[in-house]
């Protein structure tokens, strides 16, 4: 009998202790919840309870909050205070270790995080180079047989490593179209790739450096290398919309083969490469838009203008417009339209190339 009494008393004491040391949330209707405050976005508060797991509560429905744990509270204006939290008469009191008690109206709360949430957030803002990558791969393929024998393969890859103050972007794409009934059999072959580094100077201004590479069989372009540096401006930067404007200088090195010279009909067909190399400095002017439409579709659009500073009147333009619509967490459908214009293409090629691809998108996050 005594043994049962001791066990009952101990269990009651432990239960009372856990209640005493738990965070408490009192609602305006008088209900009281105990658990661990996890986070708040200024509109709702997430409380982890033993019985019901995570419970989301409207902040406007809360009468009082009292926590034993330290919380990281961000107020309007960007000020952050860390310490146990209590509310009194609609005001929030944070008992900090260094600045004493910080008071603020409850309506001034923009974010609340406990230590675990804050640590996870800090990792996303300052990930190591091996972590924090997001991106995707696009695949499109088509085959025609009968009166024609054509094959088309489009591949693309992009990866972004973003932290609080900087961003690394890698990308590569390839489009290859062949016609087995034609000579030569390669109808189109375009390859692009590059990398870019952005670094925020302040919330609106950033500096960037980039290296871009391209080859294009239709324009007899063996390789174009463009090395760019400059400044950018975040005109719009929100969860749904990002609009940037860029300006800077670039050094361009490009080599054209000028196509293939076909010998007289009496001679077996052969091809002789002869070309020209351009080296020049140019301006880099650009605009970039990223727009979320609903919960599943993202639209990306960019335009770049490269006027040659050494040969007045010569320039290059690049325009891209694409969409990705999510089908599942990792699978989507992508459409991509691109236009490249060169004011001084080699003899025998056109100024403008238009490219449209569609296919599957495979996304990833690491």
Q: Which residue blocks in the chain are alpha helix, DSSP H? A: 2-20, 115-125
For the segment 58-69, what is each residue's pLDDT rounded down to a tens digit?
988 888 889 989
357 burial type by CB count under 10 A (0-12 exposed, 13-18 middle, 19+ buried): buried
DSSP secondary structure, 163-220, as one string: -SSEEEEEEEEEEEEEETTSSSSEEEEEEEEEEEEEEESSSSEEEEEEEEEEEEGGGT
- The boundaries of every CATH 2.40.160.40 domain in the chain are 135-365
For the segment 294-308, what is each residue's pLDDT rounded down to a tens digit?
889 999 999 999 999
Peptide bond into 232 cis (omega under 30): no
135-365: which CATH topology?
Porin (2.40.160)
- Residues found in the chain: 366
For 50, the token pair is: 């033993």
Backbone angles phi, psi at 17, to 5 degrees: -65, -40
Low-confidence ranges of the chain (pLDDT < 50): 2, 5-20, 262-273
């Amino acid at each position: 009998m005594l043994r049962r009494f001791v066990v009952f008393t101990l269990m009651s004491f432990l239960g009372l202790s856990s209640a005493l040391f738990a965070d408490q949330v009192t609602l305006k209707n008088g209900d009281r919840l105990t658990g661990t405050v996890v986070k708040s976005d200024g509109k709702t508060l997430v409380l982890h309870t033993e019985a019901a797991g995570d419970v989301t509560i409207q902040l406007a429905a809360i009468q009082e909050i009292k926590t034993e744990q330290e919380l990281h509270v961000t107020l309007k204006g960007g000020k952050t205070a860390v310490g146990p939290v209590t509310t009194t008469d609609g005001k929030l009191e944070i008992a900090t270790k260094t600045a004493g008690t910080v008071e603020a109206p409850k309506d001034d709360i923009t974010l609340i995080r406990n230590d675990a949430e804050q640590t996870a957030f800090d990792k996303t803002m300052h990930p190591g180079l091996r972590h924090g990558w997001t991106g995707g791969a696009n695949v499109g393929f088509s085959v025609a047989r009968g009166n024609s024998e054509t094959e088309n393969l489009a591949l693309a890859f992009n990866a972004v490593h973003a932290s609080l103050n900087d961003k690394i972007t890698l990308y590569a794409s390839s489009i290859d179209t062949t016609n087995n009934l034609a000579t030569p059999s390669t109808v189109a072959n375009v390859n692009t790739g590059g990398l870019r580094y952005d670094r925020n100077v302040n919330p609106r201004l950033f500096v960037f450096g980039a290296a871009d590479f391209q080859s294009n069989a239709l324009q007899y372009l063996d390789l174009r290398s463009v090395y760019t540096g400059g400044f950018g401006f975040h005109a719009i930067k929100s969860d749904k919309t990002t609009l940037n404007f860029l300006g800077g200088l670039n050094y361009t090195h490009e080599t054209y083969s000028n196509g293939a010279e076909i010998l007289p009909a009496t001679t077996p067909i052969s091809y002789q490469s002869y070309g020209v190399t351009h080296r020049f400095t140019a301006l880099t002017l650009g605009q970039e838009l990223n727009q979320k439409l609903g919960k599943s579709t993202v639209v990306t659009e960019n335009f770049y203008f490269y006027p040659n500073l050494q040969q007045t009147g010569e320039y290059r333009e690049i325009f891209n417009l694409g969409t990705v619509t999510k089908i599942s967490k990792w699978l989507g459908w992508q459409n991509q339209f691109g236009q490249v214009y060169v004011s001084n293409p080699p003899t025998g090629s056109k100024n403008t190339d238009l490219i449209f691809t569609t296919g599957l998108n495979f996304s990833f996050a690491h």
